[in-house]
Every structure is written in C-alpha cells, then in structure tokens.
C-alpha cells in the first residue's frame, strides 16, 4: 500500500466517521448549510482517494472534476453558514448571485479535456510508487483562486464583525469559526508545492474544518436555548401546546393539551375548531381577543371544570403567532398548570390587592352601566319600528368578523384599541332615528322623496346625540369613532351618499367598515318592503358596489370574511328573517 493510499484513504475514512458522529448529534435546528458541509466533504475526500489510486488518465480526470465540487461550492456554503451563525442576514439577491458565480466556475471545471479555459493540460505519471499529477492551469483558474480567497476574507470579516458587535453570539464559537480560515489559506497556498510530490494539502484542510464544525454543531445544540425551550415545553408533561392556522384549522397538539382540552381528540388535523363548541369557546375566543387586543390579550386563565372543588385546575394560557421568524402561519397556544400558583396568590391576598380589585370591579360596573345604557338606547330606537334588536346585534358581529380578517393580515396596521372601540360603537350607528317621526319610521312601503330627506337626517342627528352622551368620557378615541360611525355610515366612496357627500378616504375608515356590515345585514334580512335576499344575491350586490358605494380596499377583507358571515347568519336561522327597520 503506497503512502498516497494511506494518506488519502485515512482522510476519507475520518471524514465519514465525522459524518456519522454528526448524524447522531444532528439537531433539527442546526443550520442547513452545516448539514450540506458534512455531506460534501466526505464525498470530495473520497474523490481524492480514488484519483490518487488510479493511473488511468480518464478515471483521474473524472475524479478531479468531482473533487472540484468542494473547491467551487464549499466556500459558498461555508460563507452562508458563517453568516447564519453570526446572525448576519444575507440578502436573497446576494445568495443567488454568489451561487451562480460558483456554478460558472464548476461549469468551467467540466470543460477540462475539451477546452483550455480552466486547465490547459493534465498528465498522470508514477514516481517511486506515487502517482504524480502534472497540471497546467488555464486563464480562468487564477480567477477561481481569487474567488476562494475572497470567500475566506468575507468569512473573516463576518467573524470579526460579530466578535465586536454581537452580544448574543458565543465568543468561543466565533473563535472556532476562525480556526479553519488560516488553515485553509495555508492549505491553498501550499497546494501547488505539495502536489508535485503527490500529496495535496486541501483534503487535510477539509478534514480539519469538518472537525471544527462538528464541535460548533455540538455547541449550537447547547446555545440554542430558545429552540430547546420550545421542545422542552412540547415534551413537558406540565405544558400543553396547540397550533391553529389563520383559517381556524387545527394543526396539532401534544398529549398534555389533549388532556386539558379533550375536544382536541375529536377533531382531525386540518379540521375546523369551530365545529367543537368547547374549542370555539376556548381557543377560538382566545385567538379573537388576541387579534383585537394584542397589547393586552396575550395571557389568559382557563378554569377546567371539575366535579369537586379540590380537583379544580387553573391553567395559564399564552397565545402568540406561529412563525418561522420571517412570516406568520397561524397561532400557537401554550397551556401551563398554574393551579398552585393561583391558589397561593389567593391565600396571600393583601388588603391592597382586595382594594385594587374592588376599585377595578366598581370601575368595570360603571363601564358596564355606560355600555348597557348605550345598548339600551339603541335597542329602544329599534323597538319603535317593531324591530327585535337583531339588527344592532348582527351588524356588530359583522363588524367584528371584518376586523378579525383585517387584523390577521394586518396590512392596514389597525390598533387593538381601534378594533375594540369600533365593535363597541357599532350598536350606536342608528341612534339618530330616535329623532325620526314614527309615521316615517314605521311606514311599510317605500318613502316619498320628502320622507326620505327627513329619514336621511338621522345620520347627523345620531352624531349629535352620540357627542352629547360621550362628551364627558375620557376615552377620546371611542368618542370620535362612535360619532363617525353614526354620522358617516351612509356615505358612499363615489360622493353620492349622505349627509355630507364625502368621497373615498374623506370618509373615516370606521364608517366605511360599518357601511359594509350595515348593508350586508339589510340585504340578507327581511324588511317591510322586501324579502330577505339569498347569500349569493347579497354577495353580488356588495361586490358590484365596491368602488362606488363601498371602499374597494376593503373588498379583499370582505371576501375573506364572507364564509364566516354566511355561517353566522345561517346559524341565526329563522331569526334574521324577521322584519327589521323598513327604511334604513
């Protein structure tokens, strides 16, 4: 066995040993580029072993071309790996451009034997039992070497930058990343000299780099605490984990979550959580509250029903987006047994805690009384025309469903307070009808032009009434939204609405949203002058009005909300066919 066979064979075998160790230690959160490194290096070193074990020029040529997979693509993969480990984001355009450069160099490599661009010549000879490869480099080979050193210096720059600026990257790992760089530079520099004696330094540098990256992979599994934390929570017997997509479809859960919410065992993956009353009243409501009030509604408490008080369990619930760090895919819900902590807090309740709770309760009572007063007034107005109050309830739900879609896709950057206040203000949109004469309000047939003009006054009158009711409130945003909803919900984006003939964005967003919910309910409900329209006909009328009556920017959200609107009205059954306000 020749010295060359021992040298290249040992390097190749050790590369495969390191690959096997890496596979046993592989962690799903390890950088993908690192896995490519461990796949490439053993194959490249094997090609060196085969190349220096054969005296057949054709076989040598083939192995040489394979060995350049490392020289052309490994520097690119290493640089991407270094960038990832240093928390440096490389743009997509840069990734593609540099990869294409590496591809071009490898295509030049494949021209060996047919062109003198990369190699002008290659001869195979034996000396003292060793195989000697005599290479005559072509004009593009120098450019290839320049690219190698540019990659190495880019790696060095990234490491130094992270060492000086990054506080969340291990200094030890950065030192380990640096080690292969001077070794690689030395290996490439000595390669032309050592190759004359049948020994190339590059395979050895690949092996050293592979060993260093194995150590880095081990440290990454220790340092990546956030991923370890998620996994420990998923596997923990005390923490439940549930995932749901943006269409309320169940994606998965662990055993703990299924024990806490048994209804999870009754629906298949990709099944709607809305098909289960238990899941709709728990997960569904948590997600809705989170979307509408993200600053505050992220944490909840779930009390699991039990026959005996001693068996009662309290769970701390956390809702957040399910994300890969770049885009959101749905929601993740964590449930942690918080019974002991909650009961401990109850036992340690102090006077100040009780006092604070009492103040909060009294404040909430005042708020509830205020809301009840507003709702009572709105219901009273509807009762004047033989309505059951269903219109204000249904339009409020329509507004909520539209806002939910707008919050999911978040392109309008609606604040949580805006959504909460608009839902709260929706029942007040027709308060002005309190000033409309009964003869007009209760008229079953179409209104005369004069009567219609009197009916139109309810918008401005409603804004005045809302202003008087809320002028002493501390919540300026709620007052403004409520006034705008009452005042402008009959405006049209083409300027043909009333009372002020506003156009497009001149109409407040809250009034444009209210207009869609109000019109949809009018279309699918029975009125004194018409029967209820089918969902299909109502949808066609709404879509035809986009850009004239309604804001075209809201069309996309309306179409996303349409299935839920129809499901809601279908669930209402016969109730929504009762006669509502005849002349809205």
Secondary structure string (H, E, C) spanning 321-379 = EEECCCCEEEEEEEEEECHHHHHHHHHCCCHHHHHHHHHHHHHHHHHHHHHHHHHHHHH
Determine the pLDDT at residue 544: 94
**pLDDT higher for 565 or 311?**
565
Determine the pLDDT at residue 187: 74
Determine the pLDDT at residue 509: 94
Please state, in angstroms and rounded to a whole number, the distance separating the CA atoms of residues 12 and 381. 86
Determine the pLDDT at residue 359: 61
pLDDT of 73 above 70: yes
Assess contact for 361 and 410: CB atoms under 8 A.
Answer: no
Determine the pLDDT at residue 578: 43
**pLDDT higher for 31 or 464?**
464
Which of 45-49, 81-85, 324-328 is the most confident on average? 45-49
Q: What is the pLDDT of residues 421-480, one digit of tens each?
A: 999 888 888 888 887 877 777 777 778 888 888 888 888 988 898 888 888 777 889 899
Q: Is the pTM higher than 0.85?
A: no
Instruction: Please name the helix (run of DSSP H) or strand (run of DSSP E) that holds residue 536, with its range, or none.
Output: helix 535-544
Structure-block tokens of residue 95: 């990734």
CATH superfamily for 354-577 is Hypothetical protein af1432 (1.10.3210.10)
Instruction: Please name the helix (run of DSSP H) or strand (run of DSSP E) that holds residue 317, with its range, or none.
Output: strand 313-323
CA nearest neighbour of 234 among 264, 213, 255, 219: 255
Determine the pLDDT at residue 166: 62
Confidence of residue 575 (pLDDT cuts 50, 70, 90): very low
**pLDDT higher for 398 or 31?**
398
Do β-strands 328-337 and 313-323 pair in parallel, antiparallel, or remain unpaired?
Answer: antiparallel
Structural domain boundaries of the chain?
3-223, 229-348, 354-577
Determine the pLDDT at residue 81: 83
**How big is the chain, counted in residues?**
584
CA distances 226 to 229, 233, 447, 457, 547, Å, are 5, 11, 66, 59, 47
Determine the pLDDT at residue 562: 94
Instruction: Please name the helix (run of DSSP H) or strand (run of DSSP E) that holds residue 318, with its range, or none.
Output: strand 313-323
CA distances 366 to 374, 375, 472, 491, Å, are 12, 14, 14, 33
Confidence of residue 577 (pLDDT cuts 50, 70, 90): very low
3-223 CATH fold: Rhopdopsin 7-helix transmembrane proteins (1.20.1070)
pLDDT of 22 above 80: yes
Assess contact for 403 and 422: CB atoms under 8 A.
Answer: yes
Average pLDDT over residues 509-520: 94
Other beta carbons less than 10 A from residue 422's beta carbon: 27
Identify the residue whose tokens are 């300026």: 476
Determine the pLDDT at residue 365: 67
pLDDT of 225 above 50: no
Determine the pLDDT at residue 580: 42
Average pLDDT over residues 276-296: 85
Least confident window among 61-65, 296-300, 485-489, 566-570:
296-300
Burial of 348 (0-12, 13-18, 19+ CB in 10 A): exposed
Determine the pLDDT at residue 237: 58
Using the 8-state DSSP alphabet, how is residue 249 labeled? B
CA nearest neighbour of 87 among 179, 209, 185, 173: 173
Percent with pLDDT over 90 in the chain: 21
Average pLDDT over residues 557-563: 93
Determine the pLDDT at residue 583: 45
Structure-block tokens of residue 167: 């506080």
Please state, in angstroms and rounded to a whole number, the distance separating the CA atoms of residues 491 and 459. 10
Q: What is the pLDDT of residues 130-170, one digit of tens each?
A: 666 677 778 888 888 888 888 888 888 888 888 777 655 66
pLDDT of 581 above 50: no
Please state, in angstroms and rounded to a whole number, the distance separating the CA atoms of residues 513 and 561. 12
Please state, in angstroms and rounded to a whole number, the distance separating the CA atoms of residues 206 and 12. 10
Other beta carbons less than 10 A from residue 446's beta carbon: 12
pLDDT of 351 above 60: no
Instruction: List residues bridging with 272 in a β-sheet.
Output: 249
Tell me the average pLDDT of the chain. 80
Q: What is the pLDDT of residues 473-498, one digit of tens each?
A: 778 898 999 999 999 999 999 999 99
Which of 39-43, 347-351, 369-373 is the most confident on average? 39-43
Determine the pLDDT at residue 472: 77
Percent with pLDDT over 70 in the chain: 80
Residue 58 backbone dihedrals phi, psi, to 5 degrees = -70, -45
Assess contact for 487 and 462: CB atoms under 8 A.
Answer: yes
Using the 8-state DSSP alphabet, how is residue 294 labeled? T
- Give one word for 312, left, alpha or beta, with left for phi > 0 and alpha for psi -120 to 50: beta
Please state, in angstroms and rounded to a whole number, the distance separating the CA atoms of residues 515 and 522. 11
pLDDT of 263 above 80: yes
Determine the pLDDT at residue 388: 43
CATH superfamily for 229-348 is PAS domain (3.30.450.20)
Please state, in angstroms and rounded to a whole number, the distance separating the CA atoms of residues 237 and 247. 28
Full DSSP string of 104-139 = HHHHHHTTBTTBSSSEEEEEEEEETTEEEEEEEE-H
Sign, CA dihedral 217-223-227-231, equals: positive
Determine the pLDDT at residue 528: 66
Q: What share of the chain is helix, strand, coil (3-state, %, to 5)?
A: 65, 10, 25
Average pLDDT over residues 208-218: 82
Determine the pLDDT at residue 239: 83
């Amino acid at each position: 066995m020749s010295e060359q066979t021992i040298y290249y064979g040992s390097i190749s075998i050790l590369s495969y040993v390191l690959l096997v160790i890496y596979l046993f230690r592989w962690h799903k959160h390890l950088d993908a580029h690192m896995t490519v490194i461990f796949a490439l290096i053993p194959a490249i070193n094997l090609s060196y072993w085969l190349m220096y074990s054969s005296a057949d020029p054709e076989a040598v040529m083939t192995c040489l071309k394979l060995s350049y997979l490392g020289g052309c693509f490994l520097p690119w993969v290493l640089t991407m790996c270094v960038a990832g480990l240093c928390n440096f984001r490389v743009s997509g355009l840069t990734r593609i451009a540099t990869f294409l450069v590496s591809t071009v160099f490898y295509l030049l490599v494949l021209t060996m034997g047919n062109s003198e661009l990369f190699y002008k010549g290659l001869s195979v000879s034996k000396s003292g039992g060793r195989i000697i490869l005599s290479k005559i480099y072509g004009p593009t080979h120098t450019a290839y070497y320049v690219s190698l050193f540019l990659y190495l210096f880019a790696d060095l720059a990234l490491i130094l930058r992270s060492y000086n600026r990054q506080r969340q990257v291990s200094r030890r790992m950065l030192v380990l990343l640096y080690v292969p760089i001077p070794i690689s530079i030395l290996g490439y520099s000595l390669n032309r000299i050592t190759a004359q004696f049948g020994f190339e330094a590059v395979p050895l540098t690949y092996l050293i780099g592979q060993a260093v990256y194995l150590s880095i992979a081990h440290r990454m599994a220790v340092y990546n605490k956030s991923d370890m934390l998620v996994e420990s929570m998923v596997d923990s017997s005390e923490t439940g984990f549930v995932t749901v997509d943006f269409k309320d479809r169940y994606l998965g859960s662990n055993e703990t979550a299924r024990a806490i919410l048994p209804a999870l065992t009754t629906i298949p993956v990709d099944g709607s959580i809305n098909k289960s009353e238990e899941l709709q009243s728990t997960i569904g409501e948590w997600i809705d509250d989170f979307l509408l009030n993200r600053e505050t509604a992220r944490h909840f408490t779930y009390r699991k029903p039990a026959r005996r008080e001693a068996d009662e369990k309290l769970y701390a619930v956390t809702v957040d987006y399910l994300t890969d760090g770049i885009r959101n895919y749905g929601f993740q819900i964590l449930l942690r047994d918080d019974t002991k902590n909650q009961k401990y807090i109850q036992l340690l309740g102090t006077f100040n805690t009780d006092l604070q709770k009492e103040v909060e309760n009294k404040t909430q009572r005042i708020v509830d009384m205020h809301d009840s007063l507003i709702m009572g007034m709105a219901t009273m107005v509807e009762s004047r025309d033989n309505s059951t109050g269903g219109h204000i309830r249904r339009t409020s739900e329509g507004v909520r469903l539209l806002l939910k879609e707008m919050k999911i896709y978040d392109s309008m950057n609606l604040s949580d307070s805006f959504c909460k206040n608009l839902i709260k203000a929706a029942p007040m949109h027709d308060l002005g009808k309190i000033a409309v004469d009964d003869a007009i309000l209760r008229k079953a047939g179409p209104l005369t032009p004069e009567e219609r003009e009197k009916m139109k006054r309810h918008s401005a009158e409603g804004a005045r009434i809302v202003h008087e009711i809320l002028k002493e409130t501390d919540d300026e945003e709620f007052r403004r939204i409520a006034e705008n909803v009452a005042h402008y919900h009959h405006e049209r984006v083409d300027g043909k609405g009333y009372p002020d003939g506003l156009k497009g964005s001149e109409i407040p967003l809250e009034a444009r949203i209210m207009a869609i919910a109000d019109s949809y309910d009018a279309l699918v409900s029975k009125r004194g002058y018409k029967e209820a329209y089918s969902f299909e006909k109502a949808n066609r009328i709404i879509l035809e009005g986009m850009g004239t009556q309604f804001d075209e920017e809201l069309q996309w959200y309306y179409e996303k909300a349409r299935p839920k609107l129809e499901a809601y009205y279908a669930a209402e059954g016969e109730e929504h066919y009762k006669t509502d306000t005849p002349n809205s």
